[in-house]
Each structure stands twice: as C-alpha cells, then as structure tokens.
Amino acid sequence: MKRDPRTILLTLWRCLKLTCPACGKASIVGRPFNVNERCAACGVIFKREEGFFVGAIMANVIATEATILIAYFVCLFLISNEQTMLTILFIVGVTFPLFFYHHSWALWLGMDHLIEGLPYSKTNNQNRQDLHD
C-alpha cells in the first residue's frame, strides 16, 4: 500500500467521517457504540480477534485525559470557583469519551490500514479486485 502524504490524509479524513478507511464508501458504525463486522462496500473486516481494539480504548482514554487537562488549564484562567471548575471537568470527563468513542475506533482501524492493511472478507474478493483496478 502506498503511504504518501495524500493517502495518509485521505485515510485520516475517512476515519474522521467514520467511513471505511480502505474505500470510504460505507460507515464503520452499525448503531451507537457498535462497530460493523465488515465494510458493506468493499468487504474489509473491521472486527478482528479479541483484544484488537485495546489500542482504540487506550487512545480514547489518552485523548480524554488530554482534553480534561486542557479544560483544567482553561478553567484556571477563566473560573475562580472550584466547585464550578470541578463540575465542568466532570462533565468533560464523562461526555468526551462518549463522543470520541467511534472516532477512536475509526482512527485505530485507519492506522492499522496504513501500517499493514486491513484484511478482506473471503466472500468479497471480487470487490477487492474492483477497488484496486
């Protein structure tokens, strides 16, 4: 797979849109907090072996911690009441990981696609050939 800057940016853009990192045609999200088994358009397998998405969960935790830290420093300069500051930080700490959940999974899939390529379903080999032609 080519890893030029254009391909990397295209893959990241597809991940931010929550679409397949390989083809960009189908959504990776089936319903809230559930990733599809595979791409409906190209047959790339999204759900892999157990433990594959531990990295996505870790990325979500790290992004949440960074967001809370940024919110804390913003609150230090703007808010003098500690109770209000703690309330804001609590709300950020609870809501951010919920909103970032699917994006962390999509970015993890995108990184895997860029590094080693996502596996294709055996039933969709023809779709795979069509995409690469």
Report pLDDT digits (tens) over 56-101: 899 999 999 999 999 999 999 998 899 999 999 999 999 999 999 9
Segment 105-116 mean pLDDT? 88
* Rounded Cα gap, residues 64 and 3, in angstroms: 28
Alpha helices in the chain (DSSP H): 5-16, 54-78, 82-115, 125-132
Q: Which of 58-62, 101-105, 113-117 shows the lowest mean pLDDT across its residues?
A: 113-117
More confident residue, 3 or 71: 71
Per-residue pLDDT, 133: 46
The pLDDT mean for the chain works out to 86
Q: Rg for the chain (alpha carbons), in Å?
A: 18
Q: Tell me how far apart the alpha carbons of residues 120 and 46 are, in angstroms, rounded to a whole number.
A: 9
Residues of the chain with pLDDT > 90, as a percent, come to: 43
The residue count for the chain: 133
Q: Band of the pLDDT at 123, cuts 50, 70, 90?
A: low
CA distances from 25 to 41, 49, 122 (A): 6, 24, 19
Res 129 pLDDT > 70: no
What predicted TM-score, i.e. pTM, was given to this entire model?
A: 0.78
State the CB neighbour count (10 A cutoff) for residue 100.
Answer: 17
